[in-house]
Amino acid sequence: MDILEAIKYLLLGIIQGITEVLPISSSGHVEIAQAIFHVQKDEGLLFLILVNTGSLLTFLIIYWKRLVELLKDFLIYIFKKESRETTKANFIYALMIVVACIPAGITGLILGDTIDNIVLAKYGTFFVGIGFLLSGTVLYLIREVRIKRGKTMINWADVLIIGLAQAVAVFPGVSRSGMTSSTSIKRGMGIDSALNFSFLMYIPLSFASILLYISDLSSEGLGLIGSEYIFYYILAFIGAAGATYFAYKLIFNIFKSGKLKYFSFYLFILGLGSMFYFMIK
């Protein structure tokens, strides 16, 4: 076992876990790590599945009770007409989560291969830098947000706009959590409601992406470079799961304390640096 290689994969998992929650783009940071430190995120489908599952598992644990409640009321509303009055709110909320994920799902299916195999292959960190600048601009626009206890429920217009914002985050460098939570807050949602809806939206999308990776296993294989990489991938899984939980504990206070401007400054610097790196490499 190569200790340095193990540390690389652990760090990559941590980077993905933290940036999956914080509004600074996990895909963009992994692309930068790949370019600078020669850490390949796409060496094997097993690696991609494990890292994504690490963050997903953490969110499933965090939102377990809420997910069970939503699923139960969703099914009861459909199959027990006499109980619809008491389950209607959760049924509609669950349906909104699903509908809000549709734009991103369609965008990913249509443009995913093009982004990975053409745009990133040719423009790499330059393209990611543009995404960072877009995310930084969005965060800067809500940097002085004072809405901490806005509306707790959303309407269908909110769902459509938030879903479209999440679709934009298919592009590397654009933060999914940043786009969805910022859009929700701009629509008048309270910070707690905005962030919880954003993370609940992540769960079905993450499930879908993992299923796509699994479906590719039959044609592409695991892509293991060597048997020792199973251990490295497990380290990345642990790093992603742990870092996701750590970042989740921070994110609500970050939004409420008005520190978003520091993330926007960070993304501006990183975006310009990424584009400069592409031009000089």
Quote the pLDDT of residue 226: 67
pLDDT-based confidence at 183, cuts 50/70/90?
Answer: very high
Question: What are 87-102's pLDDT values in tens digits?
Answer: 999 999 999 999 999 9
Report percent pLDDT > 90 for the chain.
Answer: 56
What are the backbone angles phi and psi of residue 189, rounded to the nearest 5°? -80, 150
Quote the pLDDT of residue 213: 75
DSSP string, 109-147: HHHHHHIIIIIHHHHHHHHHHHHHHHHHHHHHHTTT---
Determine the distance from the C-alpha atom of residue 95 to the mean position of all C-alpha atoms in its chain, rounded to a whole number.
20
Rounded to 5°, the CA angle 273-129-275 comes to 45
Question: What are 97-152's pLDDT values in tens digits?
Answer: 999 999 999 998 898 778 877 777 788 889 999 999 999 999 998 877 666 667 77
Domain ranges of the chain: 3-280
3-class SS at 242? helix
pLDDT-based confidence at 33, cuts 50/70/90?
Answer: confident
Question: What are 187-210's pLDDT values in tens digits?
Answer: 889 889 999 999 999 999 999 988
Asked if the model's pLDDT at residue 178 lies above 80, the reply is: yes
Question: What are 39-58's pLDDT values in tens digits?
Answer: 655 555 677 788 889 999 99
Question: 252, 191 in Cβ contact below 8 A?
Answer: yes
Helix (H) or strand (E) segment spanning residue 82: none
List of residues 6+ apart from 7 with CB closer than 8 A: none
